[in-house]
Chain A
Amino acid sequence: MESYGYVAPSSIAEVLAVLNESTGAGQMTQLLAGGSDVLVQMRMPNHQPRTIVDIKKLAETNRLEVGAEGIYIGAAVSSAVMNEHQGLQKAMPGLLEAGDLIGSTQVQGRATICGNLCNASPAGDSIPALIAAGGICDIATATGSREMPVEDFVIGVGKNALMDGEFLLGVKFAMPNANTKDAYLRFTPRTEMDIAVAGVGVRVSVENGVCTDARVSIGAVAPTALLVSEAANALIGSTLDDVALEAAGQACKNIASPISDKRGTAEYRQKVVAVLCKRAIAIAHKRALEN
């Protein structure tokens, strides 16, 4: 292809048809949500011309539903729109925290958490938060749809589990009960507009002072964000006391396999991920008690 093309289909079937035809003809396509990664990539000197498939005109990708049946966040819903949804603020403060850390006010006006997930950067802030919140990917396929837990979706640095011809429609969650709350914390050298040195998403359920369920996920300290079940096991059955938090932090540290770069050494990242884990649990715990 010599020049870029742009299409903005208005139905799932049309998106699938474009993806299918292009694959058949050996032509490149790229899906476009908020564009905050895509437009930056398009400026790279070696970027190959391709057809940009804008998925923001579909009713399905614009769904933002919070109700007793569950929560659905469509792939075209920006962080700014999520932040303004009161039901979501109450149900998933941790996921909103992660979205609110992605770029500036301007970036959040466009950027989506699904784009962040599909982009599959090791430091993508929404990914540990989505995993902790128990997110399920809703994937459109040629034959219908398939689902996959978020923790299985990112399969490597910049690689996701979508096959040719598929795209992400949105993520869905069970509606958390009032005693279940999430939190996301990351560490960056600058407080705004920086990339995570380490990030931790957690969700805890607390009944009569005892932790009955937990999910812990760490980001930026391995090629992909990881679900740390050892950390969750250390929390479940405890009162979320210091000993349990220490053990959860240690589990995160143990499973992390960070790199050393200008943002921090591997050793430093391991220390930080343990501290963030403990702090994030304390925040989610407090939220669960306040509900």
Chain B
Amino acid sequence: MTDATSSIPQRLGQPVEITDETFDETVWTEEVTFIDRIPRSIAMIGLFAIFLFIWQMVHAFAIVSPIILPSPDEVGADIVKVGKNLMSGGYMLDAFWITTKEVLIGFFFAIAIGFSLGVLVGETTFGERAVLPYLVAIDTMPKVAFAPLFLAWLGFGIASKVALAAFIATFPIVVGTAAGLYAADENARMLFRSLGASRWQTLFRMKIPAGLPHIFTGLKIGAVGVMAGAITAEFLGGGKGFGELIRVAASQLQTPRVFSLIIYLSLLGFALFWTVVWVERRLVFWHQSSVTGIGDR
């Protein structure tokens, strides 16, 4: 670079001066409140303690009949009892296993069918025009109402429970998948087209990865639905699962048992949900609000 560079003057402006002066009255700094400082675990335990205390009080003053609402320590004692039965491989473990099987098989079918239908709807004109309206129509129905049908068709064994569980969980997965396939933006599509990518390549290398956040939202809703479906079917159709244990305990007014069974059941739901979240974190590690490019709008 020649004369243009050399013709730049040494200094045109002035250095900006730094002083340590402030206007005292106008100092405004961040405030951290007491609540802000409490770690989450302490806050959660604290709230739980308050909840137990109120429960105990309600019980102590006999505001509600003890048959309807047992005391916390009764429930605690029963949790231990049920836990022992489960650990020792008693009849409750068998029931737990049956429900677990229903939930897992149901979720498997929901994922397989939901994903396939989602791709059909999101990727093909036929799916969008012809299949989607029916899916929407069925989705608006109360799906639990189909339970008697499944029982009539598939009997009182595990199959009818799997069917209802899968039926309920399929729809959010369809919706999540179809929405996910629309998630990739126009620039990404154009880039793939300009590279001469085939339909399959576009689907598997762009649309599905870009849609994973939506797909996982569907899976998480599905994971909750599959539990509800299995237990509802067990309530209505008997069998040997955990739902049946709850139903029997409730009919015998063993309320502490009902509570403790629900708590163990929720462990199953929790495990399923967090497995989905765990897989999501592995696969969708890139999804954050600050992602450059696609998938963030």
A and B pair up: no
A residues near B, CB below 8 A?
none
Residues of chain B whose beta carbon lies under 8 Å from any beta carbon of chain A: none
